[in-house]
């Protein structure tokens, strides 16, 4: 099972690679749109990357609600939790 820290580290590495961001800018509190300047095309790329890594897709409606890197971590964490 992945921890939130594992998800954050994987997500940070992906954002650094996909969007050419300095790693120190990708913090849990960073706002995707204001601090990291992620646009809607970038968001689609990130959703696609998450799907390739987890085999599961975050619903577009759910992704619209995320604002910070931590919001994405939480969405992925819920996505990868085993169903009881």
pLDDT band at 84 (very low <50, low <70, confident <90, very high): low
Domain ranges of the chain: 4-80
Nearest-10 crossing angle of helices 40-54, 4-19: 130
- Per residue in 6-54, pLDDT tens? 999 999 999 999 999 999 999 999 999 999 999 989 999 999 999 999 8
Answer whether residue 2 shows pLDDT above 90: no
> What mean pLDDT comes out for the span 51-75?
91
Enumerate residues 6+ apart whose C-beta is below 8 A from 58.
47, 50, 51, 75, 76, 79
Give the model's pLDDT for residue 63: 84
State in words which class domain 4-80 has. mainly alpha
């Amino acid at each position: 099972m992945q921890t939130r820290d594992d998800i954050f580290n994987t997500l940070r590495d992906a954002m650094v690679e996909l969007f050419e961001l300095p790693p120190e800018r990708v913090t849990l509190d960073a706002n995707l749109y204001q601090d990291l300047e992620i646009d809607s095309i970038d968001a689609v790329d990130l959703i696609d990357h998450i799907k390739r890594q987890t085999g599961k897709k975050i619903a577009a409606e759910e992704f619209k609600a995320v604002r910070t890197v931590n919001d994405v971590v939480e969405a992925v964490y819920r996505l990868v939790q085993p169903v009881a």
